[in-house]
Chain A
Amino acid sequence: MLMDNGNHRCQGEQIAAYLDGELDASAGALFEQHLLECRVCNAELNAQRIFMRELDATLTLAPDLPLPRNFAQIVAARAESDMRGVRDGSEHRRAFRFCLILVLASFAMLGAAASKAVFFSGRTVANQIVGIFGLLWTTLYDAAVGLTVISRVISGGLIPESPFAGLAALLLALGVVLLSLLISSYHRHHEMRLSRVVSRITWG
């Protein structure tokens, strides 16, 4: 805080620091030199000195707050039973390691206890997958059987049930093949004859 003395502005804090004995030797000497010339600072110094003396007298002399009997003993006992402190870093780290080991061991034991349930659920899933594949296989098998039955029924209608049915079918197939060969041979000869007749007429 600045105080105006007409010629220049003085630092109020300097006066307080001087009275508190907080100025070093050189700053103190400079301030004392300044006091010889500055009436404003001189008056302020005296006012502050009286005030601070009164303040010190009141605030330092006063107070003994009445404390309960054995207060120190009670507080010390409570503090010593409070286990939140007085542990150094290495002790914290060791405690952390112990906690970590205990946590891992707990997880391992929980895992062992839960393994039956895990295996049981795995087996159930596998059974369900096998069931789905079984259903698909059964569906395909039944479809194949159905087709076989239908084809048999149809073929049973066309081919009579007899010991020579197979031979008859073979002969029939052979006949069909021979007939087709004969028809194609006939058409070839007919085309050749027709082309000869056309050429004779043309050259004629």
Chain B
Amino acid sequence: MSMIASATLWKDATDRDLVATATTGVEGSFEELVRRYQRPISAYVYRMVGDYEAALDLTQEIFIKVYGSLARYRSEFKFSTWIYKIAHNSAVDHLRRNAGRERSLSSGIEGDQYELPIESGGLSPEQESERKERRLEIEAVVRSLPNAYRELIVLRHSQDLTYEEIVEVTGLPLGTVKNRLFRARDMMRQQFIGRGITSM
């Protein structure tokens, strides 16, 4: 079956349908799940680990884990939350394994970084340049956050997860999530002030 035909066939299927069919071994259903989540998961992992090659490897590893755990997926939970939980655990494991490298990442020496593209949306060259500069500042500040804070900022602002979903993904109590998010934002604002950016 060609890629286009496969994508068309599964277009209207829900995540739960795809999981059910993938578990019974129907060809193409898992591929559609990968297609749906490859971008958000790879972006999340990249933001967590800060290394392009590692993010690609981890993303692949995550989908293999997901496929291996499909039989254990319970349909009362949102599939997206479940897959983020697996991605989160894999990213945290990776950071633990590479604690030394992670320190170098936070100090800004890491080499294999990729500049994430952003749509210009009809801005003037000056505005675009300013926006790009601002985005780089924000990305740098996000990278400099401790893991415990960075993961919450990424889940909330990049992946747009609710507090409840963040609780499910990270396994942290709701109070801790609220508190850490507030502290992380406060820490970031202080860093912006420290960098001379007062408009935020």
Majority DSSP secondary structure for residues of A touching B:
helix
**In contact, A75 and B63 (Cβ under 8 angstroms):** yes
Chain A residues contacting B181 (CB-CB under 8 Å) are: 13, 16, 20
**In contact, B60 and A75 (Cβ under 8 angstroms):** yes
CA distance A52 to B106 in the complex (A): 22
Binds B, one of A62-70, A93-101, A145-153: A62-70
**In contact, A59 and B142 (Cβ under 8 angstroms):** yes
Interface residue tally on B, bucketed by range: 35 or more
Partner among B134, B153, B178 whose Cβ is within 8 Å of the Cβ of A54: B134
Instruction: Give the Cβ gap from A70 to chain B, nearest Cβ, in Å.
Output: 7
Measuring CB to CB, which residues of chain B are less than 8 angstroms from any residue of chain A?
3, 22-23, 25, 30-32, 34-35, 38-39, 42-43, 46-47, 52, 55-56, 59-60, 63-71, 114, 116-119, 134-135, 138-139, 142, 153-154, 156-158, 160, 162-163, 178-179, 181-183, 185-186, 188-189, 192, 199-200
Known: A16-B178, A56-B157, A60-B157. A73 touches B3 (CB 8 A): yes
Chain A residues contacting B35 (CB-CB under 8 Å) are: 72
**In contact, B182 and A73 (Cβ under 8 angstroms):** no
Known: A17-B178, A55-B157, A82-B64. A62 touches B162 (CB 8 A): no
Q: Residue on A with the closest CB to B62? A: A75
A-B contacts, 16 of them at CB < 8 A, read A13-B178, A16-B182, A16-B185, A47-B189, A59-B153, A60-B157, A64-B116, A67-B42, A67-B56, A73-B3, A75-B60, A76-B34, A85-B68, A86-B22, A86-B70, A86-B71
Known: A52-B157, A61-B119, A75-B60. 11 other contacts (CB 8 A): A1-B186, A12-B186, A13-B179, A20-B162, A20-B163, A22-B163, A48-B185, A54-B134, A54-B138, A60-B158, A86-B68
Interface status of A79 (Cβ within 8 A of chain B): yes
**In contact, A80 and B114 (Cβ under 8 angstroms):** no
Instruction: Give the Cβ gap from A85 to chain B, nearest Cβ, in Å.
Output: 2
CA distance A51 to B192 in the complex (A): 10
Residues 1 to 24 of chain A near chain B (Cβ within 8 Å): 1, 12-13, 15-17, 20, 22
Chain A residues contacting B199 (CB-CB under 8 Å) are: 50
Partner among B67, B135, B188 whose Cβ is within 8 Å of the Cβ of A80: B67
CA distance A61 to B120 in the complex (A): 10
Instruction: Give the Cβ gap from A83 to chain B, nearest Cβ, in Å.
Output: 9
Known: A67-B38, A75-B63. A59 touches B117 (CB 8 A): no
Interface residue tally on A, bucketed by range: 35 or more
Interface status of A200 (Cβ within 8 A of chain B): no
Chain B residues contacting A79 (CB-CB under 8 Å) are: 30, 34, 63-64, 66-68
Pairs A-B, 4 closest by C-beta atoms: A85-B68, A79-B67, A76-B31, A63-B43
CA distance A115 to B82 in the complex (A): 56
**In contact, B139 and A58 (Cβ under 8 angstroms):** yes
Q: Residue on B with the closest CB to A48? A: B185
Measuring CB to CB, which residues of chain A are less than 8 angstroms from any residue of chain B?
1, 12-13, 15-17, 20, 22, 47-48, 50-52, 54-56, 58-68, 70-73, 75-76, 78-80, 82, 84-88
CA distance A8 to B72 in the complex (A): 49
**In contact, A20 and B43 (Cβ under 8 angstroms):** no
**In contact, A63 and B47 (Cβ under 8 angstroms):** yes
Known: A58-B135, A60-B157. A65 touches B114 (CB 8 A): yes
Known: A59-B157, A64-B116. A82 touches B68 (CB 8 A): yes
Chain A residues contacting B156 (CB-CB under 8 Å) are: 20
CA distance A58 to B32 in the complex (A): 28
